[in-house]
DNA sequence: AACACTTCTTAGCCTAGGCTAACTTTCAGA
DNA sequence: TCTGAAAGTTAGCCTAGGCTAAGAAGTGTT
């Protein structure tokens, strides 16, 4: 039972509670990632195609229709989505807000990745994963980076 | 049924198959993230403390001991970890490789985040999530960015 | 109006990754 | 040595998010 608060030697590991907090935050982000992906995609489809049908989500998420039905059920339960059976999907107020936030985060991450040297396609690919795990502080830093690059001095 | 290949107007959505491929890649990364976190932590504990006990993983991951037992079981099944009951955890060859790769990716992401303006603690926090979702191309770009910054000709 | 096709839902299954409660094993100190 | 605390395991539960197969509900064409 070594007490790292006393000796403080060549420790690179953070305190256990801090370490645990990081992972907890991570698990939280994982839980919200699916919801964000779905509402973001629904918003995109509504904007670009005029309607968001479950079958389109199924195709674009690469997932069975049964899975979409189940997921939409959870989003509905959580007050993010409304459905009119056989009439496509709609976002609630909360869903729209979440989608807007997700999209602006997504776009920021894409622009940042391109700025540090990724090609557009890879940037899109990576943003899909990174957008859910970047903290507000990180996003702010990305934005500062872009601002400085666009307007040096 | 609009055919976006024909008109090609103000579409910002990628082709459905490409879109699906992104999400598939994402789900793949999610599946490997837990394994990477565990072997990385086990490697750290072995290096820093001389042994990796399940109870330490439990504390540092912020998860019950029962959950650790179950997860370790999966890692063992997948050939990443070996256990001697009541004797701590050890990495297999494959586990060690994975841990090494994960750690170097983690460190690269941390250094990159600091370089773009995050403080050390936030960088560590964010790296925990981002390291599993950055492609090799992105990591290469991060490395180039660091190299250029450290040695601007 | 009827038929076929597409869309959506339902039922039943699975794995990963969480939990608590209860039990077993090990270890250290009196 | 024995005994209590710590460590580890087991059993039983849960949710999210996948799947397939089968059935129901619209839609469109003739």
CA–C1' gap, A90 and C3, in angstroms: 32
DSSP H or E stretch at residue A68: helix A65-77
Q: Which residue range(s) make up the domain with B135?
A: 18-150
Residue B143, domain member (yes or no): yes
CA distance B112 to B132: 15
Helix (H, G, I), strand (E, B) or coil at A69: helix
Residue B63, domain member (yes or no): yes
> Going by DSSP bridges, is the β-strand pair B81-83/B89-91 parallel, antiparallel, or unpaired?
antiparallel
pLDDT band at B150 (very low <50, low <70, confident <90, very high): confident
Residue A26, domain member (yes or no): yes
* Residue of chain B whose Cα is closest to the Cα of A124: B22
Contact status of B40 with chain A (Cβ, < 8 Å) = no
Report the residue from A11, A60, A122 with minimal CB separation from B135.
A122
CB-to-strand C under 7 Å, chain A 66-105: 66, 68-70, 72, 83, 85-86, 88
For residues A54 and A65, the answer to whether their CB atoms sit within 8 Å is yes
Q: At CB < 8 A and 24+ separation, what contacts does A114-121 make?
A: A115/A145, A115/A146, A115/A149, A116/B116, A116/B141, A116/B142, A116/B145, A117/B141, A117/B144, A117/B145, A118/B137, A118/B138, A118/B141, A119/B137
- Render the burial of B121-149: b for 16+ CB within 10 Å, e for the rest: ebbbbbbbbbbbbbbebbbebbeebbeee
Cβ neighbours for A10, distance < 8 A, ≥ 6 positions apart: B48
> Going by DSSP bridges, is the β-strand pair A89-91/B81-83 parallel, antiparallel, or unpaired?
unpaired
Residue B49, domain member (yes or no): yes
Residue in B117, B123, B131, B149 to test binding to A, most A beta-carbons within 10 Å: B117
Residues A45-69 have pLDDT tens digits of 999 999 999 999 999 999 999 999 9
The answer to whether residue B10 scores a pLDDT higher than 90 is: no
Residue B13, domain member (yes or no): no
CA distance B12 to A22: 35
Closest C1' nucleotide to B74's CA = C16
Q: What is the pLDDT of residue A44?
A: 96
CATH code for the domain in which residue A143 is found: 1.10.10.10
Residue A5, domain member (yes or no): no
Q: What is the mean pLDDT of residues B48-55?
A: 94
The answer to whether residue A1 scores a pLDDT higher than 80 is: no
Q: What is the mean pLDDT of residues A2-22?
A: 66
> How many residues appear in chain B?
153
Does the beta-carbon distance from A141 to B19 stay under 8 Å? no
Residue A144, domain member (yes or no): yes
The answer to whether residue A153 scores a pLDDT higher than 70 is: no
* Residue of chain A whose Cα is closest to the Cα of B12: A48
Q: What is the pLDDT of residue B6?
A: 38
pLDDT band at B152 (very low <50, low <70, confident <90, very high): low
* Residue of chain A whose Cα is closest to the Cα of B26: A129
Percent of chain B residues past pLDDT 90, beyond the cut: 84
Read off the tokens for B4: 């976006």
Establish whether the CB of B62 is closer than 7 Å to any nucleic acid atom in strand C: yes
Please give the ipTM for the structure prediction. 0.89
Residue B4, domain member (yes or no): no
CA–C1' gap, A1 and C29, in angstroms: 15
Contact status of B72 with chain A (Cβ, < 8 Å) = no
Contact status of B124 with chain A (Cβ, < 8 Å) = yes
Residues B79-123 have pLDDT tens digits of 999 998 778 999 999 999 999 999 999 999 999 999 999 999 999
pLDDT band at A85 (very low <50, low <70, confident <90, very high): confident
Establish whether the CB of B33 is closer than 7 Å to any nucleic acid atom in strand C: yes
Does the beta-carbon distance from A129 to B125 stay under 8 Å? no
- What is the total count of domains within chain B? 1
Contact status of A74 with chain B (Cβ, < 8 Å) = no
């Amino acid at each position: 039972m070594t007490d790292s608060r006393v000796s403080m030697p060549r420790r690179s590991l953070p305190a256990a509670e801090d370490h645990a907090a990081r992972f907890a935050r991570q698990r939280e982000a994982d839980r919200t990632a699916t919801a964000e992906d779905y509402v973001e995609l629904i918003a995109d489809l509504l904007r670009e195609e005029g309607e968001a049908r479950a079958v389109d989500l199924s195709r674009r998420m690469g997932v069975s229709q049964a899975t979409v039905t189940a997921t939409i059920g959870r989003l509905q339960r959580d007050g993010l989505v409304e459905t009119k059976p056989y009439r496509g999907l709609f976002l609630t107020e909360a869903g729209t807000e979440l989608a807007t936030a997700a999209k602006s985060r997504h776009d920021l991450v894409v622009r940042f990745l391109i700025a540090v040297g990724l090609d557009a396609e890879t940037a899109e690919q990576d943003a899909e994963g990174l957008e859910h795990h970047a903290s507000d502080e990180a996003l702010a830093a990305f934005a500062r980076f872009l601002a400085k690059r666009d307007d040096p001095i």
